[in-house]
Amino acid sequence: MPFSIALAGKGGTGKTTVAGLLVKYLVQKNKIPILAVDADSNANLNEVLGLKVSLTIGAAREEMKRGNVPNGMTKDVFMSMKLEESIIEAGNYDLIVMGQPEGTGCYCAANTLLTNFLDKLKNNYSYMVIDNEAGMEHISRLTTSNVDVLLVVADTSLRGLQAAFRIKNLAKNLNIGVQKVFLIINRIKVETHGRASLQENILSMIKEENIELAGIIPDDENVYKYDLKGTPTLNLPEELPVVKSAFKIFDKFII
């Protein structure tokens, strides 16, 4: 069984960037092979990792629904073949992308396919990093069931923190097998003295909510510059504070 880490949080908190930094960390620490999973219907983990996606699980299902199954091949065999084709190999890690159905279709079927496919694949890897969609719906769909660590990513906004707390409580109440839950506060503004820190009221909220703060990651203009240029944030230099801070957090729970 791989050591699995799932990421969740409100949209816009930098969850996918943190997922990419985690893959970067695991590769650097030689914690390989790694399976990276983009379980967000608005997929962009591949951009963070610098990979091109040619087939998603959702697109494979739509192809089957349109009747593109070759003569003499069952739908089950066709989907098995397509799911294998959806694996993007990148040396030390692979990536699979859930994607979405065409039009206004429900994501539930693609999510079920992804969950079942992960069950077949996971024993081939040492670590699994799952970037879930923003919000809370993925928790109730059990995409993140039986994970070793759930990283809830928030910023310092009230909505971002409230979403993080609700995700933590929902994961606990559903009893879906999450072993540990950690909070990461991302995009902390750097003060004039060159350090990033949390305000006392935020620390009080975290303490009251009884969620373990794994650490904070400072805001960094380089992340935005890389994103605007279309440069994978996986390539951020390791000497940058944003990368150092993330790696320091990962040191706390990576075996």
pTM attached to this predicted model:
0.92
Do the domain assignments include residue 210?
Answer: yes
The answer to whether position 15 is within a domain reads yes
Question: Number of folded domains in the chain?
Answer: 1
**For residue 195, what pLDDT is reported?**
62
Task: Measure Cα distances from 164 to 58, 152, 174, 213 in Å.
Answer: 27, 6, 16, 11
With a cut of 90, say whether residue 83 has pLDDT above it.
yes
CATH code of residue 141? 3.40.50.300
pLDDT 10s digits, 145-190: 689 999 999 999 999 999 999 999 998 888 788 999 999 999 998 7
pLDDT for position 62: 87
- Nearest one of 74, 92, 82, 86 to 26, comparing CA atoms: 92
pLDDT score for 199: 86
In a domain, residue 61? The reply is yes
| C-alpha neighbours within 13 Å on the C-beta side of residue 122 | 18
Is residue 232, in this structure, part of any structural domain at all? yes
Give the confidence band of 201 by pLDDT, cuts at 50, 70, 90. Answer: very high
- pLDDT at site 143: 67
Determine the structural domain holding residue 22 and report its residue range: 3-250
Q: pLDDT for 128-146, tens place per residue?
A: 999 998 877 667 666 666 8
Higher pLDDT, 204 or 141: 204
Kindly state whether residue 255 falls inside one of the protein's structural domains: no
In a domain, 237, yes or no: yes
User: Cα(29)–Cα(32) distance, rounded to whole angstroms?
Assistant: 8
